[in-house]
Amino acid sequence: MKTGQEYIQSLKKMKTEIYFMGEQIENILDSPYIRPHINTAAVTYDIAFEPETIDLATAVSPYTGKKINRFTHIQQDAEDMVKKSKLLRAIGQKTGTCFQRCVGWDAMNAVYSVSYEIDRKYGTKYQEKVIDFVKYIQENDYMVVGGMTDPKGDRGLPPHQQPDPDVFVHVAERRKDGIIVRGAKAHQTGAANSHEILVMPTVAMRAEDKDFAVSFAAPLDAPGVTLIFGRQTNDERKLGKLDQGNPTYGVVGGEALVIFNNVFVPWERVFMCGETEFAGMLVERFAVYHRQNYGACKAGVIDVLIGASAAMAEYNGTAKASHIRDKMIEMILMNETLHASSLAAGYESRPLPAGNYYPQTTYANITKQNITRSHYEISRLAHDIAGGLLATLPTEFDLKDPVLGPLILKYFAGAADTNTLDRIKLARLIENMTGGTSLVESMHGAGSPQAQRIGLLKNANLKQFKQMAQKICGITP
């Protein structure tokens, strides 16, 4: 297993082609825009060596018998699923932001299970190749991006009818030694600082979409792979330190557009190729795995936000006000409900035909549906508690000015015996954690709110519920 520093050093060997603000980034370790995301991902490595979290953060590989980082593990039982939720909350508490690595973890588990079912129907050997890939990731303790979201183009058209087929990743050529792929994956969390990408189809497909029903793994520095790093709300803050709010770990996960321009993938790295009837299954499996996470990682992040709001109330001199206490209670209630549903999805998990465990689908969908609401409401309450200075504070460069700085400290002073600079730091942290990028990610990560609602209705046993009601009131069905 790698330490955080060893992970950071491993990125120096990558030759990823990545651009931001119209320029190529030659060294991501030196980029003020990307480095915070690297620091955050490094926590997923270091936590596996800390005595208080080593049980949560490590597992034993069923393939090698070695101790591995849990982020490379194929879930073996319900205990694994519960430990996953507890681990994600613990890391969220340490970083206060997205630590990126769970997307690839969920992708490996989803592809593992679906490849087994494809093999069972067609006699293919996909799962053997998936297991070889997983062992490779475990042995090297690599970070994997789960490549799910395509740009999609016209959402009213299936992939094969798109005017430009590249808006969905697809097989452009089949060769004896592998395939050539074209297209892109959008909003890829952690792509800039990962080693590999595990690509999956993004929608259910019909027979005519055969070329688009593809799953494969590729190094992010493979020839033909280009990354365009995404803008984030207030990302100019990263050019300073104090204004960032969370200067070490940044905000959200550092998303990027990953473009495949005639990328060669050898057959041993191809895990689906044309089996369209399994595309929808793979989308749903990945989504459910990932939806469970949100009540865990976000719960840890929100723990930090609740703490910042409570401290801000003290700096404002309002901590004892009854309405402030009531708002704190509401924040705690929503956050613990989020984590409870994530834990329930783990405790009630069941094995798939492939043998690996899968969250209880309804609880996972409830978890993510509530995230799309509660995170916004908790952020609103944090804004309410903190006050208007979140949006109007002068910059840290003004604060450093010998004339302006003392005036800022004078007029932004809070309660007696509190430090004004610390009050400003807390305000910037709350601003960082409740800005537009983090909330949009909570809304659309692991599928839009409507996707969870469809899942809830699909898995609700309405027929049985109707029969219960009819039996109780004496109606013969």
Active site residues: 98, 102, 189, 255, 290, 294, 297, 441
Q: Give CA separation, 330 vs 325, 333, 429, in Å.
A: 9, 5, 20
**Contact criterion met (CB below 8 Å) for 150 and 169:** yes
Orientation angle between helical segments 279-316 and 420-433, nearest 10 degrees: 160
- Say how far apart CA 275 and CA 450 lie, in whole Å: 26
- Say how far apart CA 268 and CA 339 lie, in whole Å: 38
C-alpha 98, offset from chain centre: 7
- Say how far apart CA 288 and CA 283 lie, in whole Å: 9
**Contact criterion met (CB below 8 Å) for 282 and 114:** yes
- Say how far apart CA 115 and CA 112 lie, in whole Å: 6
Phi-psi category of 274—alpha, beta or left, where left has phi over 0 and alpha has psi -120 to 50? left
- Say how far apart CA 172 and CA 263 lie, in whole Å: 9
- DSSP per residue over 36-76, as a string? HHHHHHHHHHHGGG-TTTHHHHEEE-TTT--EEEGGGPPP-
- DSSP per residue over 164-181, as a string? SGGGS-EEEEE-SSEEEE
CB neighbour list of residue 371: distance below 8 Å, 6 or more residues apart: 294, 295, 298, 338, 442
